[in-house]
Amino acid sequence: MYFQNPVFIPGPTNMPEILRKAVDMPTLDHRSSLFGEILHPALNGVKKVLKSKTAEIFVFPSTGTGGWETALTNTLSAGDKVLAARNGMFSHRWIDMCTRHGLDMTIVETPWGQGVPADRYEEILTADKSHQIKVVLATHNETATGVLSNIAAVRKAMDAANHPALLYVDGVSSIGSMDFRMDDWGVDIAITGSQKGFMLPAGLAIVGFSPKAMATLETASLPRTFFDIRDMGKGYANNVYPYTPAVGLLNGLKMASEMLLNEGLENVFARHNRIAGGVRAAVDAWGLKLCAVSPDLYSDTVSAICTPDGFNATDIVTHAADKYDVAFGVGLGEVAGKVFRIGHLGSLTDVMALSGIATAEMCMVDLGLDVQLGSGVAAAQEHYRTS
């Protein structure tokens, strides 16, 4: 392929040229001191992106899913009680992983399109007088529905219940794109991957452990070898890995965190909010609705857009790929065929977003939806001109 459009899937995201180059490096001896000069800045950069002073950062050759497994297996034992909400495909998969590890799940079934129900968490935790629940899970940004949950509210609910459970947050599609405050929110394990906010190829699981989470390692008895952070920690102390590190990706991670910190995290978040605002203005102009049920839940990294009843939303995605060579996200699980998704995170500008909006609009008109060519683009243009 000689020409390349930006992608509008919510990960993997578009890669800036500078990161592609950072990842593409000659082989170096990962047991030499050169490796430490990549590893430690990468770990420190991630820590800053997580807004943590005290977290220990671990990076595995894996993906976000491996980050979930790292969190669970290092800190829990079979039969331990875990509280989670299911409000989309990613929270569902995390729950499935817990179940397969023999954890005892309390699941709050939550309509897809809604956020993590902090009030229900508070009731359940308050009722758990003997503190059987060890861990509370929250998916910060449900990538399947474009729903951003309020993690500060989850922390507040835990504190109001005076409950000592640990809080693990899936930030795979929020960290590095939307505000994430590991320390302020009392997050005990934060999880992400390399291919979303960090704008790199897939291949790294990135996790931050709070001191409270670190204190559980010796009592946790779930089997772990590859993901044992004790081995990883010992390696880091000597500038090495317990096995062969993904050196190029780690070099990319060092550079990606530098880029985010140089732009300024608050500026990165403002850019995502502005770009998302243009997409939302377009959706409104098309007369369509988001899957997220209220504005406080709108995600700045992905919009899941509901199409009219009787129309297969996946046709938009297929048509965009076939006719315009542009990638959008399909609906997953319960909302398959009902929504299509525009990913707007990572390396993206207003102008790039306009091309995605224009393409979605062409597809909808091609497929006979009652949408005016230019309506969404004009609404987004107005948004970008004035914000």
Ligand X SMILES: *Cc1c(COP(=O)(O)O)cnc(C)c1O
Binding residues (CB under 6 A) for ligand X: these are: 11, 63-65, 90, 139, 141, 143, 170, 172-173, 193, 202
Query: What's the DSSP call for residue 382?
Result: H
Q: Which is closer to ligand X, CB of 173 or CB of 371?
A: 173
Q: Which is closer to ligand X, CB of 60 or CB of 121?
A: 60
Please name the residues in contact with 215: beta carbons below 8 A apart, sequence gap of 6 or more.
none
Q: How far is the CB of 198 from ligand X (least distance, A)?
A: 11
Q: How far is the CB of 382 from ligand X (least distance, A)?
A: 30
3-state SS class at 178: coil
Q: What is the CA radius of gyration of the chain?
A: 21
In whole angstroms, give the CA distance from residue 130 to residue 152. 24
CB 172 within 8 A of CB 191: yes
Q: What share of the chain is helix, strand, coil (3-state, %, to 5)?
A: 45, 15, 40
CB 66 within 8 A of CB 55: no
Helix residue spans in 199-246 (DSSP H): 211-214, 229-237
Q: How far is the CB of 336 from ligand X (least distance, A)?
A: 16
Q: Which is closer to ligand X, CB of 330 or CB of 369?
A: 330
Q: How far is the CB of 377 from ligand X (least distance, A)?
A: 27
Q: How far is the CB of 156 from ligand X (least distance, A)?
A: 22
Q: Which is closer to ligand X, CB of 64 or CB of 346?
A: 64
Side chain identity at residue 340, one-letter code: F
Q: Which is closer to ligand X, CB of 202 or CB of 336?
A: 202
Q: Which is closer to ligand X, CB of 67 or CB of 376?
A: 67
Q: How far is the CB of 193 from ligand X (least distance, A)?
A: 4
Q: Which is closer to ligand X, CB of 14 or CB of 141?
A: 141
Cβ-based burial of 197 (10 A; exposed 0-12, middle 13-18, buried ≥19): buried
In whole angstroms, give the CA distance from residue 357 to residue 359. 5
Q: How far is the CB of 252 from ligand X (least distance, A)?
A: 15
Q: Which is closer to ligand X, CB of 257 or CB of 299?
A: 299
Task: Using CB positions, name the residue nearest to ligand X.
Answer: 64
Query: What's the DSSP call for residue 87?
Result: -
Q: How far is the CB of 159 from ligand X (least distance, A)?
A: 24
DSSP letter string, 290-359? ESSSSGGGB-SSEEEEEPPTTS-THHHHHHIIIII---BEEP-GGGTTTEEEEE--SS--HHHHHHHHHH
Q: Which is closer to ligand X, CB of 198 or CB of 286?
A: 198
Query: What's the DSSP call for residue 24?
Result: S
In whole angstroms, give the CA distance from residue 92 to residue 67. 15
Q: How far is the CB of 161 from ligand X (least distance, A)?
A: 25
3-state SS class at 181: coil
